[in-house]
Amino acid sequence: MVTKLVVPPPLPLPPLPPSINVRVTTMDAELEFAILPSTTGKQLFDQIVKTIGLRETWFFGLQYQDSKGFSTWLKLNKRVTAQDVKRDNPLLIKFRAKFYPEDVADELIQEATQRLFFLQVKECILNDDIYCPPETAVLLASYAVHVKQGDYRKDYHVSGYLAREKLLPQRVLEQHKLNKNQWEDRIQVWHQEHKGLLREDAMVEYLKIAQDLEMYGVNYFNIKNKKGSELWLGVDALGLNIYDKKDKMTPKIGFPWSEIRNISFNDKKFLIKPIDKKAPDFVFYVPRLRINKRILALCMGNHDLYMRRRKPDTIEVQQMKAQAREEKNKRQIERALLESEKKKRENAEKETEKIARETMELMERLRQIEEQTKRAQDELEEQTRRALELEKERTIALEEAERLDKDRRAAVEAKAALLHQSETQIKSQESLATELAELTSKISQLEDAKKKKDEEADRWQERATVVEADLERTKEELKTKLMGVHIQDSVHPPMHEHDETDESSAEASAELTSPDMVRDRSEEERVTEAHKNHRLQKKLKVRGWDSCVPGHTLCLVLIPKS
C-alpha cells in the first residue's frame, strides 16, 4: 500500500516594504543605495564603508541636512527614516570625517582614509572654513598639484597647466593682486621641489601642514555666556575652547580633555565641570536644545578617541598598521621598480634618441662630406681648367713679357736717344736762347737803326726831292744848251759828212770843239739820276737797307743781317 503525502501549497510571502533610495556622496565618489524603512544609521554606515573598502571607520560619520536646513550628524543607533532627514528622493547623505586625528602621520593608516581626509581638509581650506595664510596656501596648493599630477615635468607641464585648477582660497586671490600666470609660477616653484615624492606621501605632507592651522579639525558653535555675550565654542581632538566672537583662531579659555571631569546640558544650558573641584564650573547657553545634543555627541566621540590614542593599539589597529606598512613597502618597491624601469626606459629612450641623433648627425655629416667631395671635385675641375687657362695666360704672358722686354729695350734705347736728343735740345735751346737773346738785341738795334734809317730815308727823300729838282733844272739847262748846239750845226753844216750806208769809206773825223763849249763844261760835272740812285743804293746797302727808285720814287726795303 502506497502512502501519498500531500504537500500543502506555500503560504504567500508578506509584501516587502517599499525601499528608500539613498544617495551617498563621499569626497571622491557618489554611491546609490536602496534601504528599508527599518534600516538604521549603523547598517547604512557599514554598507558604505564596506563598499568603499574603509576600515578606519571611527573618524567618519553620516551628515545630512535637516528639515530646517541645518547640517546634522546621523545617529547610528536609530533608524534613518526616524530622524529629521529632509524628505528628498533620493535621500541626500554625505559621508564625511566627523573626528580629526591629533597626528595624521601616525593615526591615518590606510591610503583610502588619508585620501578622504586630504580631500575634505582641502575643500575646507578652499572654502575658507579653515583659515590659511597666503604663503602656506601656495605650499599646500603645490602638494595638491603633486597629488593629482605627480612629478613636475617641464615638457608636459607647460605654461597654463594650472589654469583650470582651483588651488587657492578666494580670499588669498583677492588679497594679493596677482594674475593667474604669476600664481602658477609660484606654485610651480614648489611643485618642482616635490620631485620623487609618492602621491600618497604628498597627501600626508599636505595634512601634516594643514593640522598646524588654528582652525583645523575644530567644530564651532555659537554660544552665550551668563552675561549674554556672544562667543564661539570650539570642539576638537584635544578639548574644548572658548573664542571671542570676532576671533576664531585664538582661544580665550581652554579646557583640555584631561582637565574636564564632566560635561552635561539641561535644555539650552551647557555645563563644563573641571577636574579641579576648586575651579568654577563653566556655563554657557545655546539657541536650541538640539545644538546641545550635537555638542555633547561631538565631545563624547572626541574624548573617546583621545583616550583610545593613549592606550596600546588594538589588534585590529596593529594588523592595519602592519598591513599598511607592508602595502607601503610594496608600493615603495613597486615605485622603485617602476622608477628603475622608468629610468631604464628613459635611458633607453635617451640612448635611442642619442643613436638616432648620432645617426642623423652621421647622415648629415655624410651628406656634408658628399657635398664637400662634390665641391672639391668641382673645385678640382675648376682649378684644372683654371690651371690650363693660367698656363695659356702664362704662355701669353711670357710672349708678352718678351715683347715688352723688346719694347723695354727699344724704350731704353729710345730713352737714351731721347736723353741725348734732350741734351742736344737743351744745348740747342741754350744756343737758341743765346741766339734769341742776340736776335732780340739785334732786333732792338735794328729797330733803333730802322728809326735812324727812317729818319735818314726822310732826309734822303728830301735830298731826292732836291736832287730831282736839280735834275729837272739840269735837264732844262741841257736842253737849252743842246738846242743852242743844234742851231749852230744847222748854220754850219759838217764838212765831213758821210753816208752811214756808204761802206767805201773806212775813216772819218769831226771837230766838235768850240770856244764856248771848251770854256763851259758843266755837263761833264752833272750827276745823272741813275748815278745818284746807284750811289744811294750803295749807301743803303752799306747800312743794311736796300733801296730802289722806280722812276722818281724812292723805295726802302729793310734787309736784316743774318
Average pLDDT over residues 274-290: 91
Amino acid at 248: K
pLDDT higher than threshold 70 for residue 560: no
| 232-250 residue pLDDT tens | 999 999 999 999 999 999 9
For residue 120, what pLDDT is reported? 96
For residue 265, what pLDDT is reported? 94
Average pLDDT over residues 154-172: 88
Count of Cβ atoms closer than 10 Å to residue 64 Cβ: 21
pLDDT higher than threshold 60 for residue 54: yes
pLDDT-based confidence at residue 354 (cuts at 50, 70, 90): confident
For residue 235, what pLDDT is reported? 96
% of the chain residues with pLDDT over 70: 83
For residue 506, what pLDDT is reported? 41
For residue 534, what pLDDT is reported? 64
pLDDT-based confidence at residue 547 (cuts at 50, 70, 90): very low
Write the CA distances from 173 to 145, 168, 179, 472, integer angstroms.
17, 7, 9, 155
For residue 1, what pLDDT is reported? 44
Annotated binding site: 75-78, 293
Rounded to a whole number of angstroms, the CA Rg of the chain reads 78
pLDDT higher than threshold 90 for residue 283: yes
Report the b/e string of 298-325 with b at 16+ CB within 10 A.
bbebbbebbeeeeeeeeeebeebeeebe
Residue 436, H or E segment: helix 315-491
First CA to last CA across the chain, in angstroms? 205
Angle at 287 between CA 265 and CA 233, to 5 degrees: 65
| 198-230 residue pLDDT tens | 899 999 999 999 999 999 999 999 999 999 999
| 110-137 residue pLDDT tens | 999 999 999 999 999 999 999 999 999 9
For residue 379, what pLDDT is reported? 85
Q: What is the dihedral of CA 466, 468, 474, 479, to 10 degrees?
A: -150
For residue 34, what pLDDT is reported? 92
pLDDT-based confidence at residue 190 (cuts at 50, 70, 90): very high
pLDDT-based confidence at residue 15 (cuts at 50, 70, 90): low
Which residues lie closer than 8 Å to 55 by C-beta, 6 or more apart? 49, 109, 110, 113, 316, 320
> Across-strand partners of 265?
270
Average pLDDT over residues 365-380: 89
pLDDT higher than threshold 50 for residue 507: no
Count of Cβ atoms closer than 10 Å to residue 490 Cβ: 8
Q: How far, in Å, CA of 381 to CA of 370, rounded?
A: 16
Which position has the grid cell 683654371?
Answer: 386
Cell numbers at residue 371, please?
657635398
Q: Which of 137, 109, 327 is nearest to 117 (CA)?
A: 109
pLDDT-based confidence at residue 339 (cuts at 50, 70, 90): confident
Average pLDDT over residues 405-417: 82
Query: Could you please report the per-residue DSSP string of 372-387?
Result: HHHHHHHHHHHHHHHH
Cell numbers at residue 21, please?
533610495
CB 271 within 8 A of CB 281: yes
Q: Which of 543, 535, 532 is nearest to 456 (CA)?
A: 543
Angle at 144 between CA 139 and CA 148, to 5 degrees: 150
pLDDT higher than threshold 60 for residue 523: no
| 30-44 residue pLDDT tens | 999 999 999 999 999
pLDDT higher than threshold 50 for residue 109: yes
For residue 550, what pLDDT is reported? 43
- 21's torsion region: left (phi>0), alpha (psi -120 to 50) or beta? beta
pLDDT higher than threshold 90 for residue 436: no
